[in-house]
Amino acid sequence: MSYYNTYLKKLNSVCKRKKLDLIEIGRVGFKKEYPIYKIVINPLKKGRVVCFSAGIHGYEIAGPWAVLEFLKKLNVEKLKNKLIIFPVANPSGFDKNIRHNWQRKNLNALFCSKKMPEENKILLNALKNEKVRFFHALHEDVEEKSFYLYNFEKKPEKIYRDIIKLAKKYFPINLAKEIYGDKSVGGLIINRADGSFEDRLFREGTPYSMCTETPGKHSLKKRVELSVVIMEKVIKFINKK
């Protein structure tokens, strides 16, 4: 059984236990052998929509596994808003443990491109009629020992600073003034126009949009644990808005 299918088996089991539908939204690959799924919780709720996306870089595996753990812990009845989750946005890369997709494309840099890969089209189409209030892309930096995040804002938003404080309980924060050539302030890289999923949604009106980068040099268990805690914080934040 492939790595992706092993993951899907576990995911499907959790969804059945929680009475959630695992919805196929498209297929990719040479033979269309890789289905992409979404999970929609409280589909009839109107108003605030929270969206989580994981695994757009295939070898960043903590995000998809965090989705699994998040769902295990989630009390669906207490969720006040609509929640959309893309557990593995790049299934071919996840299956092969590589950054890019089956066409060797870096999907996360191409959400604002005129020639988007099929994965990007599928994901955006799944959000076509949704007014996403908070978008959170779960990433990790496989070369890092410290945490940082990319965020988008028109004015300083407390939620992103609070997430940095939360992450500090688990990992060191990357306090460099530049991270990969981008200006950084206290572990935040703000409004980087990089063509990413989070960049695209912010441009289209999503008021809260971010990408968290857990440090890949630490244990998978701890990276997953932090990602779940951040996801829960996002949910609580939107519930209070």
Kindly report, residue by residue over 203-229, the tens digit of the pLDDT: 999 999 999 999 999 999 999 999 999
Q: What is the pLDDT of residue 78?
A: 85
Each domain of the chain, given as residue ranges in start order, spans 3-240
DSSP symbol at 109: G
Q: Is the whole model's pTM more than 0.75, yes or no? A: yes
Q: What is the pLDDT of residue 76?
A: 87
Q: Are 15 and 39 in contact (CB under 8 A)?
A: yes
Q: Are 209 and 134 in contact (CB under 8 A)?
A: yes
User: Is the per-residue pLDDT at 195 higher than 90?
Assistant: yes
Q: How far apart are CA 102 and CA 186, in angstroms?
A: 36
Contacting residues for 235 by C-beta, under 8 A, at least 6 apart:
50, 79, 81, 83
Q: What is the pLDDT of residue 90?
A: 98
Q: What is the pLDDT of residue 44?
A: 80
* 19-69 tens-digit pLDDT: 999 999 999 999 999 999 999 999 887 778 999 999 999 999 999 999 999
Residue with tokens 């996840």: 94
Q: How far apart are CA 191 and CA 209, in angstroms?
A: 10
Q: Identify the bridge partners of residue 17 per DSSP, sorted by sequence position.
A: none
Q: What is the mean predicted confidence (pLDDT) over 175-190?
A: 97
User: Is the per-residue pLDDT at 180 higher than 80?
Assistant: yes
Specify the fold of 3-240: Aminopeptidase (3.40.630)
Percentage of the chain exceeding pLDDT 90:
93
Q: How far apart are CA 3 and CA 154, in angstroms?
A: 40
